[in-house]
Structure 1
Amino acid sequence: MTVYGSDAIVDLLVDLGVDIIPFAPGATFRGLHDSLVHHRTDAPEIIECLHEEISVAVAHGYAKATGKLAAAALHDIVGLQHAAMAIYNAWCDRAPVLLLGGSGPADAQLRRPWIDWIHTANVQATQIRDYTKWDDQPASLPAAMESLVRARQLALSAPCGPVYIALDSEIQEQPVPTDWAPPAANRFPVTEPLAPSADAIRRIAARLAAARAPVIAVESVDRDQGALLRLVELAELIGAPVVEVQRDYNRTELCMPTRHPLNHTGMPLSAPPDVVLALEVRDTDVIPGCAGVPVIQVSTAGLAVKAWAADLQRVQAAEMVVAAQVRPTLDALVIELKGLIDPSDTSARVARLATHSEQYRAVWAATAAGAQGITPALLADRLGVATGNAERVLANGSLHNWVHRLWSIDHVGAYLGSSGGAGLGYGLGASIGAALAHRGSGRLVVDIQSDGDALMTPGALWTAARHRVPLLIVMENNRMWGNSFVHAQKMARARGRSNPRPEVGTVIDDPAVDFAGLARAQGVSATWTVAEAAGLDGALAAAVDHVLSRRAPALVDVVTTAD
């Protein structure tokens, strides 16, 4: 039986641990498409999508939910352009995504008239090179196989990120020589974690042990539950509040259990700090209450620098800068500090911090309970009750951080965080990716979906229905581009406009979008549109039951008001 280049590529993808390949079909990877369908029964599963931005978002969400390398296939040039926004999100979010781009023949004599010419580029990755970790356009099958092995290594090595390989259609479609020997993927491991030096650990530990009011600020623990637990241990040992710094509209990931008494995110600090330990914080100047305070910065951000996008943000003033990952840093710090600190010396400080946080949590609960109309606070509260008995995974959204104020979340896998790049169109696709990862787990995957973001990629609803993903979509339908509405208000106020009209160009109304109808048209169960608080509990309970009992998607359209 003849074996083709794309067959060999599929064999290697299996060895590299790739489970799924979302894509919208394109002729430049028709060889790969055929091999995925026909070459072997355990080939990566094709996830059918209606737009390349959705394909990459699905892979992005799957990578975060599993911690594994995720792949997506992209038609050349035009498909890559469609995917660009989602690729940028994955770059800013440091997600390990393997992008497989088809390409027309590099040999011009082999190109079909017109279409192969307008869909062949030199170099194709130029479109996305500024926000991918690495790219390649191999000219032979052996080179393509080496590229795939290297791509996995780079995508999964800290700091993680998307990588792109353009696979020439001729490489895919040519027969493989009979003496072909594929590379052994297990001979090319991912790099070991980046650990700080022993001297750096001693200096950091001494500084924290001597501090009167230390603060720990964190944006990422690399989605590592062990790192989260070590962070809890460190905070309790030194008696420090932990502040999760928000990167865009939602928190990057879960770094500290939401109900832990030392999680002081969203509340003022109880005492002026004298030192800040910043863990993967991109901009230490925005740490609340810490302006001018000496900072010890531990981060891998400087190892993923690109000149085009300013996602590295401003130059950070610091007392120390350590290029290391969070987990090995915390492991070493806790051991070192146990030799310097007696927990009884910090127990009174821990108690004071716990009392401080308890007061604010009581205020938050009262705010949600006393809400007039379906505010984000009320919706977070009622959704928390409706899903509280399930093993839930919040794949997207946070209702303006009300979820973190009101829900108990203590595992990194239970909250998958923001898009990274704050690019619209992320939520539905990424949530589908997370739900695909949990199809056999019995978990309830939840997408708190903003209306404007959903309208960027509405075809993702079809993918959810097509693959029967266990996903609860709760539409936060405020019928506006909320962030832009606030900016319009600020500009009108700042300029003293006598007749301010912030709603012009920012409201998604007249006509209002029928999201339940939009979902039903694509096969998603959606019989619930809720505009009054009295109907909220029943609709959420019914939708949760549908997802859990049928392991299929459901959408609840909730018309919300401002806090």
Structure 2
Amino acid sequence: MPEYTTSTAFLEALGEAGVRYLFANLGSDHPGLIEAYALARAQGRADRFPEIVICPHESVALSAAQGYAQVTGEPQAVVVHVDCGTQNVGGMLHNAAKARIPVLLFAGASPVTQEGELPGGRNEFIHWIQDVHDQRGIVRGYTKYDNEIRTGHNVKQLVHRALQIARSSPAGPVYLVGAREVMEQVLDSRPGVPLPAVEPAVLAPSTVRHIAKALTTAKKPVVVTSYAGRDPLAVPELVRLCEQLAIPVLESVPTYVNFPASNPLHAGYQWNTREPNPVLAEADMVLVLGSDVPWIPVSNRPAADARVFVVDIDPLKEQMPLWQVPAELFACADLRAALGQLADAVATSEIDAELVATRRAAAVAGYERQGVERSLAETALPDEITPEYLVSCVREAITEDTIVLSEAITGFQVVNEHLRRSVPGTLLGSGGGSLGWHAGAAIGVKLAAPDSLVVSLVGDGTYLFGVPSSAQWVARRYGAPSLTVIIDNQGWKAPKQSTLAVHPTGAAARNDDFGVSFAPSADLPGIAMAAGGAWGRTVADPAELPVLLKDAVEMVRSGRGAVLAVRCEPV
């Protein structure tokens, strides 16, 4: 019986690189991995491998790996079954790619022999059916690197190179495949050499001077950001820069806490804004700091004569075929480092104190006015739960260090405005457009931050996309409870809004015929109760909501998952 194979070396390399978890959906291509784990456990040496987390659905596995990496910054590994499993992670792989999150995805491949020539050769009918021309091509549009393990002798080199590429900025998923015969190959044990990520880039001194001068001489500068808060330590640097000059900050399609909502310089949020944002429209200088969609050009953009500067880990957006921001300067740099450079430069610059004071007063007045408007919107109605009231109740039920996963889609704006997160690292989004990320991500987040309360705010459609039966089972098995609050409007609101935006007086609008209703309604918490032993309730009475939220939070803190479906106005 072989004791050291390519599979052993593969798992050992992941452990050497610091990978904590391997989220696995096992199949007929993984006997080598299964045997390596079993042998290591029998020998009492399993601690040199990542801990395996069995996931009955691939999308849960990959989103869990993403969630863990979003909290820690460290890539985790995912194992799926040949071409079928690879395709099943498709939507979640899209999210990890667009969010620039490091993940190593491994899939087996159909055996390459069929007459018994090598151990692991074809011996099941499925091995012919799952043999495809270009398995790696399935994911090539979403990965930074892909390769095939052709021999076990260099498997550790491939794993460490793949993880180095995944970690290096801009981070992203990588993909490896290996046929059964290769993964069963007997080897001599040898250590691998983990490779560190490439050191972060900084702004050139001339670029720092150029941007700092533009900031200090502008009358109405504004910062637009979406993911500066991916690195929580970048947030205080952004605060330091903006406080010096009283620069308002606009969060566009945010996926993190990029700027504290409690700071009066916070100018608000924008998503699919249908009209010009006055803060952006009036700006004479715009500094875009880490954003893929800083504004929607057709409806909301800066003035034609505004000076625009882009600083980003990915300023070219090479994976976006159509993308254009009319900037006079594009710079590639780590955002935390760049913000520190700019803040230091501004600190030694000549500043118009009167202009800064005027800007600060205007920002404070706008912030206070905005606060009054939002508080009024949170007023409870006697017989209807509005999204604004719902989110305000969640805000009151959690603490400032609770980690919230937002996947409410048409409720994104409401969630950000009324949740009012200020602590870096306490708000996460998928970063992409494939729904259902929250379900697995909550597991990964909880494993990464076991002492934190994890809460997901999602729509009913998003909840179903997350394969809740699988996710709730995984959460129960591995002790990763979280609270899921469903904004249940009994349908898909986003397709209806999209149709109305293009055909405001069309047949769909005239006949209210959008094909988005979820009637008859499903027992959404019941799925979690059946599959994961979760606490579950559905609520429609505004007066009951605060009490049930408190009960749900207490239940999760006691170690049991909870799902609360909140009935709002139907689509």
Deviation at 1:396, TM superposition (A): 2.9
Q: 2:99–2:432: 8 Å Cα contact kept in structure 1?
A: yes
Structure 1 residue 497, shift from structure 2 partner: 6.2
Query: Normalising by the residue count of structure 2, what TM-score does the alignment of the two structures yield?
Result: 0.90
> Given the alignment, which residue of 300, 303, 315 partners 2:313?
300
The code of the aligned residue for 1:404 comes to: N
| Counterpart for residue 209 of structure 1 | 216
Equivalent position SS for 1:164: strand
What do residues 466-490 of structure 1 show as CA deviations (whole Å, max 9, x unaligned)? 2221301111111101101223445
Pick from 99, 103, 106: which aligns with 1:100?
A: 106
Contact 2:281/2:302 (8 A) holds in 1:
no
The worse-fitting range, judged by mean Cα deviation, of 70-79 and 19-28 is 19-28
1:82 to 51, 75, 88: 88
Kindly, what percent of the aligned residue pairs are identical?
28
User: Gaps (5+ residues) in structure 1?
Assistant: none
Cα distance in structure 2, aligned partners of 1:403 and 1:303: 30
2:191 corresponds to: 182
Residue by residue over 1:437-485, the C-alpha shift from the partner in whole angstroms, topping out at 9 and shown as x without a partner, is 222x2x1100112211221223222222222213011111111011012
The amino acid across from 2:46 in the alignment is T
Equivalent residue, structure 2, for 1:259 = 262
Shift of 1:77: 0.5
Pair 296,527 (structure 1): closer, same or farther in 2 beyond 3 Å: closer
Q: 1:141 to 1:215 in 2, by over 3 A?
A: same
Counterpart residue number, 1:197: 204
2:359 pairs with 330, 349, 358, which one?
A: 349
- The alignment's TM-score, normalised by the length of structure 1, stands at 0.91
Residue 553 (structure 1) shift? 1.1
User: Could you give the per-residue CA deviations for residues 364-409 of structure 1, whole angstroms, max 9, x where no partner exists?
Assistant: 0111125561111011001111113x73100233543333223342
In the alignment, structure 2 segments of 5+ residues that lack a partner are: 116-120, 270-276
Aligned twin of 2:435 = 424
CA contact (8 A) 2:315 2:330 kept: no
Q: Which amino acid aligns with 2:403?
A: V
Report the residue type matching 2:250 in the other structure.
Answer: V
Aligned equivalents of 1:369, 1:173: Cα separation in 2: 64
CA separation in 2, counterparts of 1:400 and 1:252?
10
Farther-moved stretch of structure 1 (352-361 vs 296-305):
296-305
Name the CA shift for 1:496/1:553 in 2 (closer, same or farther; >3 Å).
Answer: closer
For 2:482 and 2:197, locate their aligned partners in 1 and report how far apart those are by CA, in whole Å. 32
Superposition pairs of residues 341-420 of structure 1, within 5 angstroms: 341-342=350-351, 344-345=353-354, 346-371=356-381, 373-388=384-399, 391-397=401-407, 399-417=411-429, 419-420=430-431
Q: Which moved more, 1:473-482 or 1:453-462?
A: 453-462
Contact kept, 8 Å, 2:252 with 2:295, in 1: the verdict is: no
Tell whether the 8 Å contact from 2:533 to 2:561 is kept in structure 1 after alignment.
yes
Aligned match for 1:536, one of 513, 533, 545:
545
Separation in 2, partners of 1:496, 1:517: 37
Is 199-208 or 292-301 further displaced after alignment? 292-301
Residue 304 (structure 1) shift? 5.9
Alpha-carbon separation, structure 2, partners of 1:411 and 1:141: 45
Aligned partner of 2:561: which letter?
Answer: P
1:270·1:356 contact (CA, 8 Å) conserved in 2? no
> CA distance change for structure 1 residues 148 and 498 in 2, over 3 Å: closer, same or farther?
closer
Compute the displacement of 1:67 (Å): 1.4
- Judge conservation of contact 1:376–1:400 (CA < 8 Å) in 2: no
Could you report, residue by residue, the CA deviation over 1:174-221 in whole angstroms, capped at 9, with x for unpaired residues? 2223xx423222xx2110002121111111111111111111111111
What letter is aligned with 1:153? Answer: Q
Q: Secondary structure at the match of 2:330?
A: strand
CA distance 1:332–1:514, shift in 2 (3 Å) = same
Q: Secondary structure of the equivalent of 1:522? A: helix
TM-superposed deviation, 1:284: 4.2
Work out the CA distance in 2 between the residues paired with 1:562 and 1:82: 31
In the alignment, which residue of structure 2 is the partner of 1:554? 562
Does residue 282 (structure 1) correspond to residue 292 (structure 2)? The answer is yes
C-alpha deviation, 1:543, in angstroms: 0.7
Give how far 1:96 is off.
0.6
Matched residue type, 2:540: A
- SS of 1:369's equivalent in the other structure is coil
Partner of 2:228: 221
- The answer on whether the counterparts of 1:238 and 1:341 sit within 8 Å (CA) in structure 2 is no
Summarize the alignment of residues 42-53 of structure 1 with structure 2, pairs less than 5 Å apart: 42=47, 43-53=49-59
CA distance in 1, matches of 2:98, 2:159: 22
Q: Alignment RMSD, CA only?
A: 2.3
Q: Measure, in 2, the Cα distance between the counterparts of 1:423 and 1:384.
A: 26
Matched positions, count: 544
Superposition deviation, residue 34 in structure 1: 3.1
Q: Is the 8 A contact 2:82 2:107 kept in 1?
A: yes
Q: C-alpha displacement at 1:516, in angstroms? A: 1.9
Change (3 A) 1:12 1:264: same
Q: Which aligned pairs between 1:445-484 and structure 2 lie closer than 5 A?
A: 445-456=454-465, 457-458=467-468, 459-484=470-495
Tell me which of 524, 529, 534 is aligned to 2:533.
Answer: 524
**Contact 2:248–2:265 (CA<8 Å) still a contact in 1?**
yes
CA deviations on 1:317-375 (whole Å, 9 max, x unpaired) are: 11111122211111111111111144845233223211211111111011112556111
Residue by residue over 1:466-523, the C-alpha shift from the partner in whole angstroms, topping out at 9 and shown as x without a partner, is: 2221301111111101101223445663326684123x5201112x110121111112
